[in-house]
Chain A
Amino acid sequence: MTPMTPVSPARSKKTVGAMGTMGSDLRIAWLLTRGSHRREWWRVALTAIGAALATAFTLGATVLAAVSGRVYRVPLAAGLLDEPGTRSGVLLGLTLLLVPVLGFLGQCARIGAVHRDRRLAALRLAGATAWQVRRIAALESGLACLVGAAVATALFVPFLLGLTERLPAAVWAGIALVTLAVPLLGALVSALALRRVVASPLGWVRRVRPAARRGPGIAFLVATPALLLAGLLMAPDAFGGYAAAPVTVLVVVILTGMGAVGLTGVTSRITGRLLAARTANPAVLIAAERLRDAPWTAARTHAAVLLVTVVGTGFMGVRHALLADLNRDGPTAADMTYYTTGINLTGAAVLIALAITLSGLAVGAAESLATRRQGLAAQTAAGVPYTVLGRALLLETALPLAPAVLLAGAGGMTIGVWYGVVVGGTDWTVPYAAFPVPAAVYVLCLLAAATSLPLLRRTLRPAELRYV
């Protein structure tokens, strides 16, 4: 056995500085990540994927912002990136794509939360301070984000060099900044998320205060006048007109998105309360009580879905108006390609956002099951049929999402119709193609939730009763 060398407190204080502490925390974080549970590896992998997506979109936006005002010939997207004007539209699209990515990352953070909490408590038992535990957890997230950011940058730079070789120094500085900022932000967000969590040495992690069951009420009340004020300041004369289109669209998107989230929370609570008090159907009872118990969980989970619904429905309306306008003016074939490429690229971006959002929803549903697996196995052992639990799982998504998606669709339709009226005037026609968008998103969300049904079947195996 190796003899232990005693270290006096004075010596340890002198030699173990801030960097040394950070170094040891980093080593512990790495050891924990390396030896973590299978489900926590899922969190690490999905967080890295989310960070890679966030890095890729931010790198794209940063490069476009760094070359703003300059004219470049970019052999991509039918010359859409040649002009500073259209480039700013792409920049806005890339920035908006960060919304579903952040939603996805939020869902990833919940994976293996129970295991993580136990691990943090064990760290406290081993003598770590509460702050040290938070820092180690933050470093774990930072490491996962660093891997994702590094991979995205390693793929992005050769792609960029393939397009053009002469780029200003600001572009390279931006790339370096983004690659470093994404893991730093990941660690910071993780530390902030744990700021009210105290790891108890005696076996559990609890919040300093009971979780408040509040919705986005205050944020909504603050954001609404702030956005309206921003719109008026940016375009005081033409607010609501064509010149203020980006601001108007952004305001409507954000307000409708937030309104839909608020509506989801409120309807979740009301639906849960009403159904729980009346139903004799066990599946509806279980789903309704879960909604009544945690209405804002569903609202937060569905936030990105609702935003994508607003944008998707609005896009279909705008697309309809744009194409009608182009056909009226009779442009050349080259012009037509230029515009339709832009429209198609936007459509592709919306579909990418939808795919990321649905992935987040599926991850959230799977994690919710994994967390409850022992309780669910006990239900099956007591004779509750799989079909009842499966139906309850789907109803937890279906019940609160229906009115919210309807409202989000109405918001998107408002954008489409408003744009159509502004562009087309009296020649405006109804964008029928936008109508099925909310219904399609709703069905896709149910399918995303249904992807966790096979996991439910595995979770319900009585063997799960053996693992506490």
Chain B
Amino acid sequence: MSNNSDKSAPPLLTAHGLTKTHGRTPALRGASVELGAGEILAVTGASGSGKSTLLHCLAGIVRPDEGAVTYGHTRLDQLPEKRLSELRRTDFGVVFQFGQLIPELTALDNVALPLLLAGASRRDAHTRAGEWLERFGVLGQEELRPGEMSGGQAQRVSLARALATGPKIVFADEPTGALDSLAGEQVMSALVHTARESGTAVLLITHDAQVAAYADREVQLHDGAVVPLGVTA
């Protein structure tokens, strides 16, 4: 598997000693992880091990209770919400299992939305959105709404939307969790191919070993902590 990441370069995103508690339930207990530029990293673990919470902390969606998240030279855990929101719009792309497409918007408008938010003109946003839909093999479905698409089509539209702004990192939380194996493979191939082509780093949350196999590297979470390599959880 090819890897665009430069091992000598400093990591693009670093998390150190993250802890996070939901109510009384600890989700993360001192988790630390690094993501290099252009690297595809899979975070695996059992259900409830804290994978999604780790992704939320790394993407600046939630703040950790303790620990630091550094993107380049910026401490994400110390940024105000407005700046975090801007960062998620420009530098990050997020893909969830489902729910990230606006049901009332067409596929084209869904992909164009982050571009419009970034200040692109309508024509430019639609042209670029069309190009991204073509890259993910869903051209011809521009006028369909999410409810009219198959799960695989909707997820490829979601990937197109996540990558349309040219992010540095794509955070994907169980992107194939709601798909059958064939659609899952198609989605993963499209994501990995496009990420490698554009040099985008991907942080992939999955509990599926086949999906994790697409990654350059894998870290495992167990009870909110990263399990060292070579140790079986």
Contact = CB atoms under 8 A, between A and B. Distances in A.
Interface of A: 276, 278-282, 285-286, 289-290, 292-294, 374-375, 377-386, 388, 462-463, 465-466
Contacts of A276: 109
Given A285-B113, A383-B90, A293 B145 contact: yes
B94 A282 contact: no
B103 A375 contact: yes
B215 to A, nearest CB: 22
A275 B125 CA distance: 16
11 contacts: A276-B109, A280-B120, A280-B121, A285-B116, A293-B104, A375-B100, A382-B100, A382-B114, A383-B88, A383-B114, A384-B114
B61 A381 contact: yes
Nearest to A285: B109
B125 A383 contact: no
B62 A463 contact: yes
A280 B102 contact: no
B86 interface: yes
Which 6 A-B pairs give the minimum distances between C-beta atoms? A383-B89, A383-B88, A280-B122, A462-B61, A378-B100, A289-B104
B122 A282 contact: no
A280 B93 CA distance: 21
Contacts of A388: 117
Interface residues of B, number: 37
A265 B89 CA distance: 34
B10 interface: no
B114 A278 contact: no
Contacts of A385: 82, 85, 89, 117
A289 B96 contact: no
A379 B85 CA distance: 10
Contact of A466 (B22, B94, B120): B22
B129 interface: no
A384 B61 contact: no
Contacts of A381: 56, 59, 61, 88, 94, 96, 100
Contacts of B136: none
B117 A465 contact: no
Contacts of B22: 463, 466
Given A280-B120, A281-B116, A292-B104, 6 more contacts: A280-B121, A380-B85, A381-B96, A383-B86, A383-B89, A465-B96
A351 B116 CA distance: 42
Contacts of A282: 113, 116-117
A465 B106 contact: no
B162 interface: yes
Interface string B50-61: 001000100101
A278 B162 contact: no
A45 to B, nearest CB: 26
Contact of B56 (A292, A374, A462): A462
A286 B102 contact: yes
A46 to B, nearest CB: 26
A220 B76 CA distance: 58
B92 interface: yes
A212 to B, nearest CB: 16
A358 B78 CA distance: 41
Contacts of A293: 103-104, 145
A378 B87 CA distance: 15
Residue of B87, B94, B121, B145 most packed against chain A (CB within 10 A): B94
Interface in B97-154: 99-106, 109, 113-114, 116-117, 120-122, 125, 145
A173 B89 CA distance: 66
Contacts of B105: 285-286, 289
Contact of A289 (B86, B92, B106, B114): B106
Contacts of A383: 85-90, 92, 114, 117
A381 B100 CA distance: 9
B104 A290 contact: yes
Contacts of A289: 102, 104-106, 109
Contacts of B99: 374-375, 377-378
A290 to B, nearest CB: 5
Contacts of B59: 381
Contacts of A285: 105, 109, 113, 116
A275 to B, nearest CB: 11
Contacts of A382: 88-89, 93-94, 100, 114, 161-162
Residue of A374, A378, A379 most packed against chain B (CB within 10 A): A378
A290 B113 CA distance: 14
B165 to A, nearest CB: 9
Contacts of A384: 89, 113-114, 117
Contacts of B101: 375
A31 to B, nearest CB: 27
Contacts of A466: 22, 52
Nearest to B112: A285
A93 B96 CA distance: 53
A289 B101 CA distance: 13
B182 to A, nearest CB: 22
Nearest to B90: A383
B124 to A, nearest CB: 9
A441 B107 CA distance: 37
A466 B52 CA distance: 8
A294 B103 CA distance: 12
A324 B212 CA distance: 82
Nearest to A384: B117
Contacts of A462: 56, 61-62
Contacts of A279: 122
Nearest to A278: B122
Contacts of B89: 382-385
A118 to B, nearest CB: 16
Residue of A276, A377, A382 most packed against chain B (CB within 10 A): A382
Interface in B148-206: 161-162
Contact of A465 (B61, B86, B113, B145): B61
A377 B103 CA distance: 14
B114 A280 contact: no
Contacts of A377: 99
